[in-house]
Chain A
């Protein structure tokens, strides 16, 4: 069990990443593919957070006395994740707006049926 306790976040993160990649590769519906992108993003964010995670950790505020610096979590991954979330939101919003346009042109969201451009 101690193995699970220390690695559960990594397992979860890579589980989400793999689920996201699977959806993107296999599903035909554009909305599902975008959902896959969202899950992939979430997995990556969870992974970044777990890099700096400490069990029962606290905020890294040095000016407050009486806090063990061993227990302070690393703030850098959290800053990274904030940025990554914002970027992910922008990409998802753009993808959804493109999906609306795509539907207006083709009356379908099935990516296997939309094949005007090819090699």
Chain B
């Protein structure tokens, strides 16, 4: 059996090999991330079939948990690492053609480091190790947001860095307090000892951990950085940030709440925050004219929905939340990738400039439309079964508060339909009768504007259509993923099984 350590070690090694390769043969560097991530994808998929009964626990340095840093490759960890590798692989193929200017080897190193950090966060079983991988993820994403070195990118990166650094410091204080209370950093060990101290003394570390991780997860009052950062980065990086980085942040929040603290009293608060995040995100997205900011706000909304679904904390709710997470990752990555070339060809970020694009770039626009349909939850795409599961789970609780909240969440979906269909309307149904080229807002793209009527290149269309196929296939056969999602939900909900599997 493959060792899950390779999921972290191989991309990390490749990432640091890229600058060396760049010394001798610069053109080769862009092929390294796809290779490393294809390896990760294969290993994750192989592990995924094996971790159903027993999670694989890797102890580093030959000590037994809780004395060593350990990796826990349970259903949740391997599911997440498979998603990260899949999205990362497809985006890195897209980047082969998309990223041409600037220090490309820097881009490839940092994007691979970002994905390594994300994989580390979801696999680790040690809370300080989680902090370290989180910082790898955050620092590379600060740098990647500023990759284009234009005004907007730098400004957003500064904002993101300041907020992210404060969040990380709070997270570290929380970890320090937990270490002071329990004398251990192993998450399972802390979880096992959590009942031995009074709940009052746990309140401060829990708030610090949720706040610190919530900055990266973009939960409502902490998400001011997200629309700037996601809209100023290159589109391939926006896809990774929206599709992976915030989901990983949310994973960490949920892991802390469910597994470490087993805190059921805070779940209602998180559900309220989730719905608030959803409504704020959707309402802000509605008023945007900039397509990438609209997508970024829509990510906030989706994160809110996922947080709400996970906070229901029934088997159906957590499964639905994880399903929604997978569907959002696929759909949002697809949308950002498709939009990348639509912006490239029209030379504008304004939705009003997209008129008639549907005829000039039929394939890209078809993919974009499918992504939108999936995101708003139309059958037969993957967004439908996931939203259906969430609604079903919320109604099954038979609690008035959850039924009211799911009503508000569905209201958010209606707003989502309204603003997304505005884009589709502009693409397909508005004429192009000699409209003068308007003075549009500052153009942001790694390459010079290549305005034309051509389709996106093949290297971009392949990953886009792989996403489309995945969205349709999982939408028609949700059974393909629900088994994995069910066992992942079980890992979240049954913390004693997690503790027992790690500590033996």
Residues of A within 8 A of B (CB): 17, 20-21, 24, 30, 33, 37, 40-41, 44, 47-48, 51, 74, 76-77, 80, 83-84, 87, 90-91, 94-95, 98-99, 101-102, 105-106, 111, 114, 116-117, 119
Among B132, B154, B172, B175, which residue has its beta carbon within 8 angstroms of that of A98? B154
Cβ–Cβ contact B156 & A44, under 8 A: no
Cβ–Cβ contact A105 & B176, under 8 A: no
Cβ–Cβ contact A90 & B139, under 8 A: yes
Measured between alpha carbons, how far is A77 from B157 in the docked complex, in Å? Answer: 31
Measured between alpha carbons, how far is A30 from B166 in the docked complex, in Å? Answer: 14
A116 proximity list for chain B (CB < 8 A): 151-152, 155
Question: 17 interchain pairs (CB within 8 A)?
Answer: A30-B158, A37-B169, A44-B172, A48-B172, A51-B179, A74-B183, A83-B132, A91-B135, A91-B165, A94-B139, A94-B143, A95-B162, A98-B146, A105-B151, A106-B151, A111-B158, A117-B155
Cβ–Cβ contact A114 & B155, under 8 A: yes
Q: Which of B220-268 contact A (CB under 8 A)?
A: 224, 227-228, 232
B161, closest chain A residue (CB): A95
B420 at the interface (CB under 8 A from A): no
Measured between alpha carbons, how far is A106 from B157 in the docked complex, in Å? Answer: 15
Count of A-B contacts judged by CB separation below 8 Å: 93
Residues of B within 8 A of A (CB): 128, 132, 135, 139, 142-143, 146, 149-152, 154-159, 161-162, 165-166, 168-169, 172-173, 175-176, 179-180, 183, 185, 224, 227-228, 232, 284
Among A24, A47, A87, A106, which residue has its beta carbon within 8 angstroms of that of B135? A87
B172 proximity list for chain A (CB < 8 A): 44, 48, 84
In angstroms, how far is the closest chain B Cβ from the Cβ of A69?
15
Q: Is the interface of A mostly helix, strand, loop or mixed?
A: helix
In angstroms, how far is the closest chain B Cβ from the Cβ of A91?
5
In angstroms, how far is the closest chain A Cβ from the Cβ of B325?
26
Measured between alpha carbons, how far is A108 from B17 in the docked complex, in Å? Answer: 37
Q: Is the interface of B mostly helix, strand, loop or mixed?
A: helix
Measured between alpha carbons, how far is A83 from B161 in the docked complex, in Å? Answer: 19
A94 proximity list for chain B (CB < 8 A): 139, 142-143, 161
A77 proximity list for chain B (CB < 8 A): 176, 179
In angstroms, how far is the closest chain B Cβ from the Cβ of A30?
7
Among B146, B168, B179, B180, which residue has its beta carbon within 8 angstroms of that of A101? B146
A41, closest chain B residue (CB): B169
A30 proximity list for chain B (CB < 8 A): 158
In angstroms, how far is the closest chain B Cβ from the Cβ of A28?
13
In angstroms, how far is the closest chain B Cβ from the Cβ of A35?
12
Lowest 6 A-B CB distances belong to which pairs? A117-B228, A51-B180, A101-B154, A48-B176, A105-B151, A87-B135
Among B128, B157, B165, which residue has its beta carbon within 8 angstroms of that of A80? B128
* Known A-B contacts A76-B179, A83-B132; A24 and B228 likewise in contact (beta carbons under 8 Å): no
Measured between alpha carbons, how far is A98 from B144 in the docked complex, in Å? Answer: 12
In angstroms, how far is the closest chain A Cβ from the Cβ of B136?
9
In this complex, the member of B159, B169, B284 whose beta carbon has the largest number of chain A beta carbons within 10 angstroms is: B169
A24 proximity list for chain B (CB < 8 A): 162, 166
Measured between alpha carbons, how far is A77 from B183 in the docked complex, in Å? Answer: 10
B156 proximity list for chain A (CB < 8 A): 117
In angstroms, how far is the closest chain A Cβ from the Cβ of B429?
29
Measured between alpha carbons, how far is A119 from B224 in the docked complex, in Å? Answer: 8
Measured between alpha carbons, how far is A74 from B165 in the docked complex, in Å? Answer: 27
Cβ–Cβ contact B232 & A117, under 8 A: yes
